[in-house]
A and B are shown apart, each in its own frame.
Chain A
Amino acid sequence: MGRDDAVGTVKPTSPAAARGAQTELSLAIAGVRAAIVMRDATLADIVRQRYKGFLSGGKPRWRIALDVDTVVPPAVPGDVVVRRDGHPARLAVERGDFSAILDLDRRCGRVALNAPNEFSIDSFLRIACTLALLDVPGLVVHAASLIRGDKAYLFCGRSGAGKTTLTRLSPDATLLSDELSIVTMSNGHARCHGTPFWGELARAGEDRCAPLHAVFFLHHGGRHTVEAVRPGDALKQLLSTVLFFAREPELTARVLGIASNLVESVPCFDLHFRPDAGFWELVDHV
């Protein structure tokens, strides 16, 4: 669903840009539009291909400079560190394969990748989404999500909970994600959005959104059962699946606030299911 008007090429703006023309791609996830600015042609190709379903026109709210810098000091491999960098709204984001600075007030950032690697870019974008969505307000959740009819359904669970299995059993539903879903809140109403972040399915969701009808917490079972969960218990289960790395008290309070609004606005259920499509008979009737 990529559109040509989202892709522009401009002249380099500094001597450091001597490697080639600067490419700017406009990427919109859950309505948060960011201009991704790159000087590295390989990097631009990766972003153009990997996120083609989420490239869009329109004025970006964010501006992110993405570059390759092989001298980036590696953090502990696999660990994500998000810490305040001087100003309260300025955050340093580090992982073994990239280092970034994000300014939540000015809505801009720059990222240095150790190599033009698709997984590194994706990891950065996942983390950046968790921070950029706070203002919306919205959350990134370890969850599969699908649209059936005009309603979105969120199926929360950590690795191995059955998120991808569930999406494979739902060929007639619109895939929003089999791994990381986004929920936004507006005036007490929740909406679920498609994301380019995939799991074992290795397929991006559709760039669509719909009112969130119900939240399910996934559990393996011998038969399909659905049981309502009270908001307090739902909040605990939801928080255990929310993707968030910043350890800042003010940001943590905002995450808790958004999650609370979500469980108070949308009915939540424990879903025990076995791997067949019969669970939809229960889900459709909640």
Chain B
Amino acid sequence: MSDRYVVRNPETAWRVYDGQAVILLAGDSTLNTLNAVGTYIWREADGTTSVSAIVARVCEEFEVEPAQAERDSADFIDKLCQRGLLMVTESPQERR
């Protein structure tokens, strides 16, 4: 199965305090906050890093089993996509 890439919705504005991201979505002014692992994934979601690479880094950073990290990351990415915060692509975006 080909790898996927995640990218932050450019219509979001965000800040990180104490390792937790506070994200404001312009379209509906909703406010979202992420925990430490979620914030790590959020920071890595640059459109050029594959989901599998992000999951591998999560395993290292937070000492999580790969299977669990993969499952939790997939759930998290799905949730943020539903909220319009992240977008998934089949190929990497060009670096700006």
Contacts and interface: CB of A to CB of B under 8 A. Distances in A.
Real complex partners, A and B?
A: yes
Central interface residue in A244, A249, A257, by most chain B CB within 10 Å: A249
Given A240-B31, A256-B14, A248 B24 contact: no
Contacts of B28: 247
Contacts of B18: 230-232
Interface string A167-192: 00000000000000000000000000
Interface of B: 10-15, 17-18, 20, 22, 24, 26-29, 31, 33
A260 interface: yes
Interface in A240-286: 240, 244, 247-249, 251-253, 255-257, 260
Given A239-B31, A240-B31, A252 B17 contact: no
A253 B13 contact: yes
Task: State the majority secondary structure of interface residues on B.
Answer: strand
A247 B29 contact: yes
A161 interface: no
A203 interface: no
A253 B28 CA distance: 13
Nearest to B32: A236
Given A249-B10, A249-B11, A256-B13, A235 B26 contact: no
Contacts of B26: 247-249, 251-253
Nearest to A232: B17
Given A252-B13, A256-B24, A260-B15, A236 B29 contact: no
Contact of A235 (B11, B15, B27, B29): B15
A204 B4 CA distance: 56
A195 B26 CA distance: 27
24 contacts: A230-B18, A231-B17, A232-B15, A232-B17, A232-B18, A235-B15, A235-B17, A235-B22, A236-B22, A239-B22, A239-B31, A240-B31, A244-B29, A247-B26, A247-B28, A247-B29, A249-B12, A249-B13, A249-B26, A252-B26, A253-B26, A255-B13, A256-B14, A257-B13
Nearest to A250: B26
B31 A236 contact: yes
B29 A232 contact: no
Contacts of A255: 13, 24
A256 B15 contact: yes
Contacts of B12: 249
Contacts of B14: 256
B29 A252 contact: yes
Nearest to B24: A256
Contacts of A235: 15, 17, 22
Contacts of B27: 247
Given A256-B13, A256-B15, A260-B15, 9 more contacts: A235-B15, A236-B33, A240-B31, A244-B29, A248-B26, A249-B10, A252-B13, A252-B24, A255-B13
Contacts of B29: 244, 247, 252
A225 B13 CA distance: 33
B15 to A, nearest CB: 5
A104 to B, nearest CB: 16
Nearest to B28: A247
A257 B15 CA distance: 8
A239 B23 CA distance: 11
Contact of A239 (B10, B11, B24): B24
A198 B33 CA distance: 32
